[in-house]
Structure 1
Amino acid sequence: MSTQQPLSLTERRKAATQLDIARAAAELFAEHGPDGTTAEAIAQRAGVALRTFYRYFRSKQDAVAPLLSSGAERWRSLLATADPAAPLAETLERAVTEALAVRDEEGAEQLDRTRGLLRAGASDSALRAVWYRVNQDSEERLVPVLARLAGPDADPLEVRLAAAAATDAIRVALETWSGTDAPTTGPGSPGALAVRCLRELTGGMRLLGH
Structure 2
Amino acid sequence: MTQSRPSRSTPTPTSLTERRKAATQLDIARAAAELFTEKGPDGTTAEEIADRAGVALRTFYRYFRSKQDAVGPLLSTGGDRWRALLAESGSQVALAQALESAAVASLSSPEPAAKDEGLRWTRGLLRAARHDPALRAVWYRVNQESEERLLPIVTRLAGPDCDPLEVRLVAAAATDAIRVALETWALADTDTGEAASPAPLVVRCLRELTGGLRLLTARL
Q: TM-score, normalised by structure 1?
A: 0.94
The one-letter code of the counterpart of 1:108 is D
Identity percentage of aligned residues: 70
CA distance, structure 1, for counterparts of residue 109 and residue 184 of structure 2: 18
SS for the counterpart of 1:183 is coil
The one-letter code of the counterpart of 2:136 is R
- Cα deviation per residue 1:9-45 (whole Å; 9 max; x = unaligned)? 0000000000000000000000000000000000000
Select which of 72, 76, 87 maps to 2:94. 87
Select which of 131, 134, 139 maps to 1:126. 134
Aligned to 2:20: 13
| Contact preservation (8 Å) 2:46, 2:67 | yes
- Does 1:72 pair with 2:79? yes
The one-letter code of the counterpart of 1:81 is E
| Contact preservation (8 Å) 1:184, 1:190 | no
Q: TM-score, normalised by structure 2?
A: 0.90
Aligned to 1:144: 152
- Does 1:59 pair with 2:63? no
The one-letter code of the counterpart of 1:16 is A
Count of residue correspondences: 207
The one-letter code of the counterpart of 1:60 is K
Aligned to 2:187: 179
Select which of 121, 124, 127 maps to 1:113. 121
CA distance, structure 1, for counterparts of residue 129 and residue 178 of structure 2: 17
Distance 1:20 1:148, change over 3 A: same
CA distance, structure 2, for counterparts of residue 198 and residue 184 of structure 1: 22
**Structure 1: where are the runs of 5+ without partners?**
none
Aligned to 1:99: 106
The one-letter code of the counterpart of 2:167 is V
Kindly state the Cα deviation for residue 188 of structure 1 after the two structures are TM-superposed. Answer: 6.7
CA distance, structure 1, for counterparts of residue 12 and residue 184 of structure 2: 35
Kindly state the Cα deviation for residue 181 of structure 1 after the two structures are TM-superposed. Answer: 3.3
Distance 1:35 1:57, change over 3 A: same
| Contact preservation (8 Å) 2:31, 2:49 | yes
| Contact preservation (8 Å) 1:121, 1:128 | yes
SS for the counterpart of 1:34 is coil
The one-letter code of the counterpart of 2:63 is Y
**Structure 2: where are the runs of 5+ without partners?**
1-10
The one-letter code of the counterpart of 2:74 is L
After TM superposition, what 4+ stretches of structure 1 lie above 2 angstroms from structure 2?
181-189
- Does 1:203 pair with 2:214? no
